[in-house]
Structure 1
Amino acid sequence: MSGLSAENEQKLQQFKEVTNYNEEEEQDKVLRLLRVCNWKLDNACARYFDNDFPTLLDDEALSREIPEAAGRPPMDTPPPSEPQFHFDDRFLDLIPKLPRAVTISNKWKFQVGLIHSQDITRRGTISVLAPVVFVLMLFPRLLWVIGWGLDRILGSIFPNIFRFLGYREGPNDFPNQPRYLTKEELSENDVKKLIEDTLGEPSDLPIFKGEFNDAFTKAKAESRWLMCILIKSDSEPSKRFIKAYLNDQHFIDFINKYDVVLYIGDVCYPEAHEVGKTYHAYSLPFVNIIANVSPVGTTMPSMSIVSKYQSFDTDFKYSPEARRRLVRRLTRVVEKYEPQLIVQRTEKQEVHFARALREQQDSAYEESLIKDMKKQEEKKKQKLEEERKLEEERLQEELIERRTRLRKAAIARYVIEKYERDTSSWVRGEYTTIQLRNDKGQRVIRRFSKEDTTYDVFMFVECKQYLLDLTEQSGRSEKDIIEELSSDDFNGIDLDSFENEFRFDLILPMPRMRLTPNKGELIASVKELWPNGSLLIERTENDDYE
C-alpha cells in the first residue's frame, strides 16, 4: 500500500490474517487504529475485537505527537481524506465519554448443573450485619438518621457500603448468585411466559428470543437500540414492575416506534445474572439502554450505555405519572442520539445498495458474457452449418456434374455404337420391331437386335429424347448434334459400372406392365416385345433433363 513502509505493510498483513476485517469498509479505521497503537499488533487486535476504534481526537493527537518526538514528518501517515476536528490538547480529557457496553462472558454456561446453597446470600449478610447494627445503636439516633439519609442519596452510587452497614437489604437487591442452575430448571426459563402469567393475559412486547450477546450483536450490526431489562421472578417489586411498566401502552409504543431490540432476563438464571454482574446492577428491576453512538458525534462511535435506571423501590415509581416520565426520559435520550444511528443505517444501506448494485452489475455483466458466448457459439454453429451446407451443395453439384458427364458419355457411346447402326440387312427372326409412343402422340418405330437388352431400349429412348431436346434448344439438326457427340473426348470415363437414372417409364399396354431397364435381360426373352411390341413412354415427376 502506498505510504507505508515494508515493515508496516507486513504488520498490516498480519493484522488482516488475525482479524479478517473487511478491507473495503474498514481499511481507513484499521490504519488509524494501528497508528494509534504505535503498530503494536497485540494492542491493536485487542482493541479491534473490543470495537475500541480510536477517535478522531486520538488520531489528531497522534499526528501531533509523532512529529514532535521524531523532529520530522511521519512517514506512514497518509494525508487526511476527511476534514479533521482540531481541539486544544488541554481540553481533551474534558470531552465526555459514555460508559462502554460490552458482551457478557460465557463463563455462566459452565455453572449449569452446579448446585449452590440457596440461602447463602441473606444468611451470610445477616450474620455480619447483626453486630454492626448493634454497634451503631450505641451511637446517638442522629447518626443513624444521617446514615439513612445518606443511603437515600448515595445508596445507588455506593450500594455495597450501605448494604454492609445494614441500610440496604430487601427484595430489590441484586442476588450474589443465580438460583436455578440445573438443566431441568434452565429448560423452564421463559421470560415471555413469566410476563404473561404475571399479567394474566398475552403481552404485545416484542421480546428478543435468544441470548444477550446475540441481541447485542444484532443491535450493533443493524444500528438499532438495545434495551436490557433485568427482573427477579420471585420478587414482588419485579412483578409490580411487569404489571406497571411492561404492560404500559406508552412503553410498548416507544419500543415499537424506535424499533428497539428488547432483551428481558430473569436474574434467577445464570445468563441474566451474568448480564447484571457485567453491567453492575445492584437493584432490581434494572433497565439500561445501549447503542453504538458517541457522546459528541465527532468521535468514533462504540457500543455505549446511554442511560440506565434501577431505582424502583418506592410506590411513586409505579404510578402512571412515573411511567410517563420514564417514557419521556427514554424518548429524549433516544431522540438525542437517534441521528447518529440514522446516519449509520443510511451509510450501511448505501454500502448495501452499492454492494447490491455491484453484484447486480456483475451479474448483468456475467449474463452479458454468457449471452455473448451463446451468440458466439450460435454464430460458430451457424457458420459451421453454412459451411456444411455449402460443402454439401458443392458435393451435390460435383455429383450432378459428374453424373451429367457420365450420362452424356453413355449417350454418346450408345449413339456411336447402336443408334446410327444400319438395320436394313437384318434377317427376320434376328430382330424385333418396337413401336414407341410418348404422351404427346409422337411415335417412333425401331428395330432392336435379339442380342439387345431391355436396358438398350431405355437408352434408345434416352438418346432420342436428348437429341430432340437439343434440336429444339439449339435449332441445329440431329445429324450435327450426333457429329458433335462423336467428336467429344470421353476417354478415361468408366461406364461399365454406370447405371443411368431414367426419368421416364416404359409401359407395356396389353397387359399393362412396367418394363425395367436390365443389362442382363435380353429383349428376346420378353414375349410381349418379341417378335414385335409396343411401348408407351410416361415421364416421371422429376423429369429435368440437362
Structure 2
Amino acid sequence: MPIIQHADQEFHVSHEEEEKLNQFQLITAFPDEDLPQVIKLLRNHTWQLEPALSRYFDGNWRENLEQPPVPARPPTPITREDTPRSATPFVVTQSGLVPRLPIVKKLPIDYKERFQYIGLNKRNEEFSTHPALFVLLLLPRIILKLGMGILAVLWSIISFGFNTEGAKEDKVSRLPAMPDEKYSEIEDDLDALLGENSELGPLISKDSFNQTFDKCEGGFKYMLFICLGNISSEEAEKVDVNSQRFVKHILNDPSTLDILKENSDNLLVYMRTAQSSEMWSIAKQFKIKYTPECLLIGNVLNSADSMGGITRMSVLARLKMGSLRKFQNSLKVAMDKFNPEMVVNRSEQEELKLARQIKQMQDQAFEESLKKDRIKEEERQRAEEEARAAEELALKKEHEIAVYKTVEDLQWLHLCTKLIVSPEETQDSNARGSLQFRTPDGKRLIRKFSGDCTLKEIYHIVKCHLFLDTMSSKQEDILKSLKLKISAMKNDDEKLSFKSGDYTDEKVMDSAQEIVLQMIDDELCKWYKNEEDYEFDVDFELVSPFPRYRVPYDDSIVVRNTPQLWPNGSMLVEYLVSDSDDE
C-alpha cells in the first residue's frame, strides 16, 4: 500500500486512491501545504472526484472537513427475500440500468516519469539506495520464484516423471518489467511477420493512444485495443509465440479483415507491442499481466464514480482469443450489445454538431450584418465629416474673399482721401497740363496734372473718381462721395467694414472731413495688418485715340516725358474683360 509523506504526517492510501489524488492534483494544482486537507476532503466524499471537485471550487472547502460521528443504529434484520442472490454490475436510475464498467483514462503528458514513482513525493534518494531496503524489496520476489520453481519441478515429476523429452508447451509471455528503449514500430513488426503487402497494416491506427482516445470519445467510436508481446525479437526465447499466432491466424484472417473493414468508420484499431513505453504504461493502467490482450473500448454510459451515470470511455469487453471463431463472436456480441447506445450517441452528437453549425452560421451572418452596418455608419460619418469640412472650407474661402474685397475697397477709399488733401493746381502754371478722360458710358473727367506726375499715379486718380462714382474735382463733392461710399460699404453684406453701430448713415453724413478721414484710417488698420505697401490693381486701360497709344501702367515714366499726353491729352477708359467674365 503506498505511503504519502507530508512533513511529519503519513497517509496510507490504496493504489486507486493514490490515482484519484494524483488526478485531483492535476486538475486543481493545489499547493503542497493543502495536502492533508485535500486528503480529508476526498475521504469525506468517499474518494469520488466529481463531488470533491465541486466542493473544492466552491471556495469554502476547508470549512467543516471534520465530519461529526454518525450515531450507531441497530442492524437491520435481513430476510431471505431481501438478501441479494448475486452482485449486479448495474446501478438503477430513473432512466434504467446503467452498467458499472472499468473506466479508461488518457495517458498523462509525463506518463514516462509518472509510472516510476508512487505517491506525490519522490522517494528519498539516500533511503532508496540503502542496501537493506534493496534486500527487502528482492526477498519476496526471490522467495516467490523459488516456490514457483519447486512447484514446477514437482508438477513435472508428477505428470511426466523424470522424462524431459516429452512435448514442450508454449509458455505464456508476461508483461515486461520495463519498456524497451530500442523497441521497433508496429508497422515494421507487421511487415516482418506478415509481409509488406499485408492488408492488416493499413487498418492499424498510426496515432498515439491519446489521439485515438480523443477520436473515439468525441466521435463515439469503438477502440479495439490490442496489447502484443515481443513478436520481432532476434532471440527465440524472447519471442511471444502466442502474439505471433494471434496476429497471423486471427487478426490477419480474411474474415477478420472483412469485419474490421466493414466497421472501419466506427472502429479504430490501436495495436502496439508492450516493449513500447506508451503501450507499457497503458498496460499498467489496465493491470494487464500477460500478452496478448485484446479489449473493446467505447464511450458509453457508466455508473462508476457517478450516481446518475455519464458517458465515459470504458472497457466494454475483454475479447476471447482462444480461436478465430471465439474472437469474432466475442467482438460481434460486444458490439451488438452497445451498438444501439453508440448509434443514439452518434446521432445526438450529429444533431448537436448540426445545431452548433447552424448557430455558428447565424452568429457569422449576424457578425457580417453588424460589420456591414458598421461600414455604412463609418461611411455616413465620413461623408458627414467631408461635407462639414467642405462647408467649413467654403465658409473660410468666402470669408477670405470678403476680407480681400473689404481690404481692397478700404485701400481705394484711403487713396481717394488724397484727392481732398492734395491740391489739384500748382503755383507754376507752366508745370501743369490738362488731361481729359472719357468712360464707355459717356462720362467725362477733366483734370490738371503736374508734369512730374507718373503714369501710374494718373491711373490711380482716374480709378479713385470711378470708385467714388464722381467726375468732379471739387473737394466738397469728393468728401460727399466718400461719405456715400462709406454708407454703401456699411450696408453691403459682402463687405465686412463699417459694421459697428457707431457708423450710422446720419452720423457719417454729418461728420466733418477730419472725422471721415479718421474713420477710414481706423477701418483700414483694423482689416489690414501688413506693413508693406499695398499693390493696387486697375481693371481698365487708358488709350489715346489719335494716334492710338496705350498708356503704360508704369511708375517710372512721368507725364511730361510722354508727348502723346503732354501738355494736353485726351484718353479713353477701356475696361479689361477677363475670361471668367466672358463665361
Q: TM-score range by the shorter chain?
A: 0.5 to 0.7
Does residue 1:270 correspond to 2:277, yes or no? yes
Question: Match for 2:196: what amino acid?
Answer: G
Cα 1:416–1:293 shift into 2, 3 Å: same
8 Å contact kept, 1:406–1:493: no
State the 1:429 CA deviation. 4.8
Task: Please state how far the C-alpha of 1:102 moved relative to its aligned partner.
Answer: 2.0
Does residue 156 of structure 2 align to residue 134 of structure 1? yes
Is the 1:238–1:285 contact (alpha carbons within 8 Å) kept by the matching residues of 2? no
CA distance in 1, matches of 2:339, 2:53: 22
In the TM superposition, what whole-angstrom CA distance separates every residue of 1:248-270 from its partner, at most 9, and x where no partner exists?
A: 244123122x2x44422122323
Cα distance, 1:177 vs structure 2: 0.5
The question of 1:255 aligning with 2:264 is answered yes
- Number of the residue aligned with 2:338: 333
Q: Do structure 1's residue 491 and structure 2's residue 518 form an aligned pair?
A: yes
CA distance in 2 between counterparts of 1:415 and 1:342 reads: 107
Residue number among 200, 216, 221 corresponding to 1:219 in the alignment: 216
* Residue 407 (1) aligns with residue 394 (2): no
Identify which of 294, 298, 308 aligns with 2:301: 294
In the alignment, the residues of structure 2 paired with residue 358 and residue 421 of structure 1 have an alpha-carbon distance, to the nearest angstrom, of 91
Cα deviation per residue 1:87-117 (whole Å; 9 max; x = unaligned)? xx996798531221123465546899xxxxx
Looking at structure 2, the residues matched to 102 and 280 of structure 1 have their Cα atoms a distance apart, in angstroms, of 13
Aligned equivalents of 2:418, 2:321: Cα separation in 1: 129
* RMSD of Structure 2 on Structure 1 (CA): 5.7
CA distance in 2, matches of 1:103, 1:47: 18
Distance change >3 Å, CA 542–CA 463, structure 1 → 2: farther
1:392-447 per-residue CA deviation (whole Å, 9 max, x = no partner) reads 43343244234334434534x355467x9579x98455326466676x99987764
- Unpaired runs of at least 5, structure 1: 1-14, 22-36, 55-65, 71-88, 113-119, 140-166, 472-477
> Aligned match of 1:430 in 413, 429, 432?
432
* Residue aligned with 1:459, SS: helix
Q: Distance in 1 between matches of 2:115 and 2:25?
A: 34
Larger mean Cα displacement after TM superposition, 270-279 or 241-250: 241-250
Do 1:222 and 1:345's aligned partners in 2 also have CA atoms closer than 8 Å? no
Distance 1:52 1:217 in 2: 23
Q: Aligned equivalents of 1:514 and 1:289: distance in 2?
A: 117
Match of 2:104 among 74, 81, 101: 101
**Mapped contact 2:250–2:323 kept (Cα < 8 A):** no
User: So what's the TM-score if we normalise by structure 2?
Assistant: 0.54
User: How far, CA to CA, are the matches of 1:515 and 1:202 in structure 2?
Assistant: 112
The superposition leaves residues 335-364 of structure 1 with CA deviations (integer Å, 9 ceiling, x where unpaired) of 433313443564466567657866875786
Residue equivalent to 1:236? 245
Pick one of 192, 197, 200 that aligns with 1:201: 197
Q: Does 1:523 align with 2:559?
A: yes
Any conservation in 1 of the 2:424–2:448 contact (CA below 8 Å)?
Answer: no
Q: Tell me the distance in 2 between the aligned counterparts of 1:213 and 1:388.
A: 69
Q: What one-letter code is carried by the residue in structure 1 that aligns with 2:100?
A: K
Amino acid at match of 1:453: T
Partner of 1:312: helix, strand, or coil? Answer: coil
Residue in structure 1 matching 2:539, options 499, 503, 523: 503
Q: The residue matched to 2:520 in structure 1 has which SS?
A: coil
> Secondary structure at the residue paired with 1:301?
strand
Q: Please give the per-residue CA displacement for 1:425-482, whole angstroms capped at 9, x wherever unaligned.
A: 98455326466676x99987764322423333222442454466x99xxxxxx99985
Q: Secondary structure at the match of 2:174?
A: coil
User: Secondary structure in 2 aligned to 1:181?
Assistant: coil
Q: Structure 2: which amino acid aligns with 1:229? A: I
After superposition, the Cα gap between the structure-2 partners of 1:90 and 1:482, relative to the gap in structure 1 and judged at 3 Å, is closer
Question: 1:161 is matched with which residue?
Answer: none
* Contact 1:290–1:303 under 8 Å retained in 2: yes
Aligned position for 2:315? 305
Q: 1:455 to 1:493 in 2, by over 3 A?
A: farther
1:539 aligns with 2:576: yes
- Kindly state the Cα deviation for residue 522 of structure 1 after the two structures are TM-superposed: 3.7
Q: How does 1:439-454 map to 2 (within 5 A)?
A: 447-454=448-455
Structure 1 length as normaliser, TM-score?
0.57
Question: What code does the residue aligned with 2:399 have?
Answer: R
1: CA distance between counterparts of 2:174 and 2:446?
A: 134
Q: How far has the Cα of 1:304 moved from its partner?
A: 1.2
The question of whether the paired residues in 2 share the 8 Å contact of 1:414 and 1:459 is answered with: no
Matches of 1:325 and 1:462, distance apart in 2: 121
Q: Is the 8 A contact 2:102 2:315 kept in 1?
A: yes
For 1:16 and 1:427, locate their aligned partners in 2 and report how far apart those are by CA, in whole Å. Answer: 125
Contact 2:431 2:450 in 1 (8 A): no
Deviations 1:114-159 (A, max 9, x none): xxxxxx9xx99994663242365299xxxxxxxxxxxxxxxxxxxx
CA pair 445-237 structure 1, distance change in 2 beyond 3 A: same
SS of the residue corresponding to residue 40 of structure 1 reads: helix
Deviations, residues 523-542 of structure 1 (Å, cap 9, x unaligned)? 33556654566677350417
Residue deviations 1:151-208 (CA, integer Å, cap 9, x gap): xxxxxxxxxxxxxxxx99647x4532078623xx24x42x344445525327584644
- State the partner residue of 2:175: 176
| Structure showing the higher helix proportion among its residues | 1
- Preserved CA contact (<8 Å) 1:506 1:537: yes
Amino acid at match of 1:238: V
In the alignment, structure 1 residue 393 sits paired with structure 2 residue 398: yes
Instruction: Map 1:115-154; keep pairs closer than 5 Å.
Output: 127=149, 130-134=152-156, 136-137=158-159
Whole-Å separation in 1 of the counterparts to 2:433 and 2:106: 122
